[in-house]
Structure 1
Amino acid sequence: MARVLVVDDEESVCQMLRDLLEAEGYEVVTALEPTKALALLEQLEVNAALVDIRMPEMDGLTFFKLLKERGYAFPVVIMTAYGSTDTAIEAMKLGAFDYVLKPFNIEELLLTLKRAVEVEALAQEARALKKELAGGAPAEELLGRSPAMIEVFKEIGKFADTDYTVLIMGETGTGKELVAGALHRNSRRRQGPFVRINCAAIPENLLESELFGYEKGAFTGATSRKLGKFELAEGGTLFLDEIGEFPLTMQPKLLRVLQEKEFERVGGTKTVRVDVRIIAATNQDLERMVKEGSFREDLYYRLNVVTIRVPPLRERKEDISLLAEHFLRQAASRLGKPVQGFSSEALAILHSYDWPGNVRELRNVCERAVVLAQGMLVLPEDLPLTLREHRELGLEEGELAFKLRSGQTLAEILQDVERTVILKALQEHNFNRTRTAQALGISRRTLHLKLKEYGLGEGKAGE
């Protein structure tokens, strides 16, 4: 019979878990304080532990660290009622078996514990075999508590403290840059620089010198040596945003740096060696681009050592209230306004919308709402018409349909129409900006400006 240790300062939680787990055939020992749990462990062995994060005497992570320092190797499942990004990442980084939220999903909790006990049984066998063979001789905050985001936190925790190249996948505005920042902050390179470069925002003829730097006299106007992003990121992390837009002609040079950790500055002959971790992000389907010949297969595999997919907001609607309240508090504090929350009607509108611009769009909507709010609550009329009446304005069978709204100017109507057309085109072309611009008959730069104008362009809360 497997023995499970439960450590939680709430007696009711300990009793509930004891009843639940004993009914499943486990032997259960409980402790209301970490020090009492340590005393118990000196007298008996356990196969797994469920440990609460927030306890008055000693928090769960500190207790977990003590367990590791004292040589205990059984799986530890962290429990908490608080969906803190840092807590989730730190717990997984320290080696926690899993991370579960209160109130518990009973089936999920039992499945997690079952896997933990099975893993411990295998580990015991491996330790016994080894002993036998040896003859007796281990920023901006990324928010969310939805299951989809908890999985992202777990992935960050697993791979943050490695030097693996990470490819972050996700639609525009999902927060890919925040994931990259979290990977850096929780890595052994955290004391080094975190350098960003947007591969789509820099013209192709300037991208090489931005990445690799140049020597004095390399071209007209190069009056002195300039260090590139790779050298500036020495000892830290280089984040290549929108890697799907990286020019095909320059991809061999990037591949060489990834493989050899060396390059030459533009106009130079001296080889420069660098120690940099690479994190890349894209909203494009790189596998499809490889098949089409617009992205090198060898570079793709070099970048795709570890993949983290950031879910779109429509797949994590449980997080809308959490994110909206966070953005509202930030904006209200910055603007000095007494806005404290959303009315139930306004919140319902936020939840009913599909958010094609994802978290970035939600943030812009919340900031605009704080500006317009007249009282302590954001009301429906403080939200954009595209949210309140998005079903009345759309593309139906290839034709544009909309209603003239009371008090709306022609300019406002045209802006609504243009925004809707652009978003529809983005969705149809899988958020590939080059193809979207071609389909709309505008330049890629014009599209970039339009996305910024409608709150969907580059920003801190986005990729």
Structure 2
Amino acid sequence: MLEAVSVAPRQLLVLDPFEACEALFQPLQAAGWSVQSCTPQTLNGHAGDVLLLYLDQQPGHALLKQLQLTGLGCIVLMDAERLQQINSEELVGEWCFAALTLPVELPRLLETLQLAQTGTRLRRLKSARQAPQFLGNCAAARSLRRQLDRLSRIDGPLFISGERGSGKHLLARLLHQRSSFAAQAMRAIDCAESLDTDSLAASSFTNVLLENASRLSAVDQQKLLDYLQCNPRAHLLTLDRGELVQALQQGRFRPDLFHLLAAQQLQTPNLREHPGDLVLLAEHFAKQHGAVIGRHHRHFSEEAMDAMISHPWPGNVRELRNHVVRALVLAQGRQILTTDLGLRPAQASIDAPVTLEDYIRRAERQALNDVLGRYANNMSQAARTLGISRPTFYRLLHKHRLR
């Protein structure tokens, strides 16, 4: 599959070129890569297959947001000592395809670029073919899906809270698609910058997304309060990871403004509290992305499943999807292994099968995982497939912490 991808034109964007990277330009071009330099300001205006960038410190929020918007497989080059100082697991797990230390060997860089290109095209093909949906079988996810149509028709601000990567932007897009403003583009305001009153006024004819509201200055908080008091039906979708509530508790945010913004509230669930959704989503991503690149659906090995369940997933669904996409690119066998996912193995002493009962328990969990992946929205069919009653099916889900 990699050979098939490699014959297409290969466009490499290099962010903020530096001396070590410039020395690589000529051999990369000789290997068939078209190399183009860009800056953070012009990044989203360029087309490419892979992004190469150098970091000498933990990237800031603005850069991470840009990396996410590009949809490109990103390869980070860093000095070895710097790589040890930053949270490289978060960087690779949530934002980048790989992190390599300098000086980097050209064969390794070329191989990584080719793999990152495959990941980029996989994501793009998936995005073009699949309509967005908020997946999950836990009570919180089901409740959110039920509320989407109702809340999309309500005038006034809506507050969407949840951990990073838990689907807040997806939920906002789904609300917009179901609203009467679906034909209009949703506006976005980053409150870390000066409040854009022109975009704010757009809430009278479309949805406006507010991010980083906790960073509004006192002056901008007053502007926003005045606007909402004059426009109580403004369609403002405020996204928050907990910073706004913290700012409120610390006296840095006006209570009267907070109550106006949070008149209606939704909260996205996190993965670590819903292992059943973790398994369902991992299987969904593996099947969905695997079909895009023409590979048979690869299942996860038992060890890989254990590693996923034991991982804390601070980046939630975004982190899980990135790990699964990388695993599909890297996997060589019929199963996705722990090493393909780039996760640490679960401690063998916890669930290692020793007795017949242990093996039966593992077989039960594997069967449940299989039917959950196939019948995520039809629990009755999942139970019938296993030849058990629906109450027994739910009892097994609770037994194996899959619900």
TM-score by length of 2: 0.49
- Point out the structure with max Rg over C-alpha: 1
Greater fraction of residues in helix: 2
TM-score by length of 1: 0.43
